[in-house]
Structure 1
Amino acid sequence: MIGLGNMGTPMALNLLAAFPHSLSVTARSRDRAAAVLSAGASWVDTPADVAEASDVVVLMVPDLPQVDELLFGDRGMAETPATCVVVVCSSVSPTGIRATDDRLRQQTEGRMRIVDAPVSGGTEGAAAGTLSIMVGGTEADVNIALPLLSACGTPVHLGPLGSGDIAKACNQLIVAATMAAISEASVIAERSGLDLDALLTLLQGGYAGSRVLETKKDRLVERDYSPTGAARYMVKDLSFAHAAAVETATAAPILDALRGQFDGLVAAGLGDDDLAVIHRYIRDPEQPR
């Protein structure tokens, strides 16, 4: 596995729990891998070494440029004669992942193939092993990856390569819309003198309840925007949803409005905070960080 951040580390620990002493990792420093090394992972020095040691390589990095660097950069995976399935759990462009797969198959004469498997459930789901995992790829390659993905949550094969990332774009549209709606409602309630904690607790028991409200309620009440995942990543995810809407000739006015909100949030210097920071942005959009 490569990509031992807030999501990757708990996923790696779940892999080790299911498959002890079977995980090879690399990172920019050993310190970043300390938790998984202590749990029984093996350290290797380069992405090429990971490929040589593995039948399946899981990547959890920010976006496609980082995936391409790991595959095709200096001491990248494609330099080796290894045969493996590369599972990209990052949220990336569906068309981009298909192009990367074509290049990888050509450079490795088909020895390496990609499965896209973006996840939803946040750091809480990653730690608990309850992620929703949206999978795209050939049936043969997905069948190789499924036992490992099952250690991290519930994987569902949705179609050919790129299907997972289309599903993740749809997921992010719903998450962004829900977070924005909760935040708007919270600002209205606060300015109307309501007890926000009491209100959101009440709403969670009705039709307005959601997983987003459950996990973000306390952050809104306490105005805690410390990051579990950076809000700026929503900009790229919504851009993938926009591309899919254009490709399918789908009018998406809610998506368009959300893109404007999150672009503005990032321009205001709030992009490195938690997704809940849209609450602050709605409350005072003219106040930069």
Structure 2
Amino acid sequence: MTLALLGFCGLGKMGEPMAQRLAQAGYPLHVWNRSATKAETLQSAAANCVACESAAKVAAGADIVMLCLADAAAVEAVAFGADGLASRARRGATLVDHSTLAPSQTRVFAQRWHELTGGQWIDAPVSGGTAGAAAGTLAIMAGGDAALIDTLAPILGAYAARVTRMGGTGAGQSTKLANQTIVMTTIAALAEATRLARHAGIDATRMPAALAGGWADSVLLQTLMPRMIEPPPQASGTIRTMLKDLDAVEQLARESGAAMPVAGLVRRWLAQAVAQGLGDADISQIVTVELETDATTHA
């Protein structure tokens, strides 16, 4: 069986393990990263992997290119900028974007990609964190052509346990932003619960075990509360990234006319953390940031 020729741009905390799993699955893979070291390291570890000096060279050697980038500005630069993917993309090439963007921005990019290359853009944001990427258990929420997503599913299965088409272009991003709303408001609730336990004289280190199996139990509780109590040496997901996602949630809510009072308050909390210099801290460290409204809301 002839394997698809793949490209991958963006070898950050999520992208690197995802690309590694594609290489381990045996796919011919061209990779690019803004800092070349990660791409060169991946090439050294896998004979089927070629490190490229530009996104354009990735596109020249691939029929399907995956992106996993920080924000819309990075996606636009890599896809459409000078020496970007579109400049040398194969006619009809597929772009699969694993980044998290506003759905309206995704639709603009998809139309632009089709006009320039004749190919299709699939929005395919992921959930599951770095651990899920390394284990191949990510959840992918996809938007775009149904038949194409079905064709892509076995390839994406190198790092995802589940690929669910949610609708047309942008639907994957809308679903991811709903996911991020749940995740971030839950993390905020965990931070408040951790504070309450500490102020009440409870040993907060015992909370995850005490709540295991109850209605408050969750992957987030078991993963994030211990990190709120004992800060991790390295961030697995940053406050700045979550603020970027909640900015996109706010934009989608405004465009769709949805009231989001809780998410809006959490967004303010994240913005205050960034203003205090905690943008690159692990998301668990919002537990250290007092909202300006706290003094007036305590009974």
Rounded to whole Å, the distance in 2 between the matches of 1:125 and 1:45 is: 28
The aligned counterpart of 1:239 is 247
Q: Deviations along 1:18-67, whole A, 9 cap, x unmatched?
A: 2x151111223442224421133112222111111111100011011111
Note the 1:118-197 alignment, pairs <5 A: 118-153=125-160, 154-197=162-205
Rounded to whole Å, the distance in 1 between the matches of 2:290 and 2:125 is: 29
Alignment size in residue pairs: 283
The aligned counterpart of 2:67 is 59
1:285 Cα deviation after fit: 9.8
Tell me if 1:31 matches 2:40: no
Rounded to whole Å, the distance in 2 between the matches of 1:170 and 1:6 is: 22
Aligned pair in 2 of structure 1 residues 3, 81: CA closer, same or farther (>3 Å)?
closer
Tell me if 1:7 matches 2:14: yes
Rounded to whole Å, the distance in 1 between the matches of 2:235 and 2:113 is: 34
Aligned pair in 2 of structure 1 residues 249, 276: CA closer, same or farther (>3 Å)?
same
Rounded to whole Å, the distance in 1 between the matches of 2:224 and 2:241 is: 17
The aligned counterpart of 2:265 is 257
Q: Deviations along 1:128-153, whole A, 9 cap, x unmatched?
A: 11111111111233233222211111
Rounded to whole Å, the distance in 1 between the matches of 2:210 and 2:292 is: 26
What residue ranges of structure 1 are gaps of 5+ in the alignment?
A: none
Rounded to whole Å, the distance in 1 between the matches of 2:268 and 2:101 is: 20
AA at the equivalent of 2:76: D
Aligned-residue CA RMSD in angstroms?
1.9
SS at match of 1:62: coil
Task: Tell me the TM-score normalized by structure 1.
Answer: 0.92
Task: Tell me the TM-score normalized by structure 2.
Answer: 0.89
**Over 6 Å off, 4+ runs:** 283-286
Rounded to whole Å, the distance in 1 between the matches of 2:202 and 2:291 is: 15
SS at match of 2:239: coil
SS at match of 1:126: helix
1:241 Cα deviation after fit: 1.6
Q: Deviations along 1:202-242, whole A, 9 cap, x unmatched?
A: 11321111111122132122133731122111122112222
AA at the equivalent of 1:174: I
Which sits farther off after the overlay, 224-233 or 58-67? 224-233
Percent identical pairs in the alignment equals: 36
Aligned pair in 2 of structure 1 residues 285, 122: CA closer, same or farther (>3 Å)?
farther
Rounded to whole Å, the distance in 2 between the matches of 1:128 and 1:180 is: 27
SS at match of 1:181: helix
Note the 1:193-208 alignment, pairs <5 A: 193-208=201-216
SS at match of 2:120: strand
8 Å contact from structure 1 (residues 51, 57) kept in 2? yes
8 Å contact from structure 2 (residues 100, 176) kept in 1? yes
The aligned counterpart of 2:227 is 219
Aligned pair in 2 of structure 1 residues 255, 14: CA closer, same or farther (>3 Å)?
same
AA at the equivalent of 1:122: G
8 Å contact from structure 1 (residues 116, 136) kept in 2? yes
Which sits farther off after the overlay, 245-254 or 85-94? 245-254
1:248 Cα deviation after fit: 2.8
1:282 Cα deviation after fit: 3.8
* 2:280 pairs with one of 252, 272, 289: 272
8 Å contact from structure 2 (residues 142, 165) kept in 1? yes
AA at the equivalent of 1:262: L
8 Å contact from structure 1 (residues 21, 42) kept in 2? no
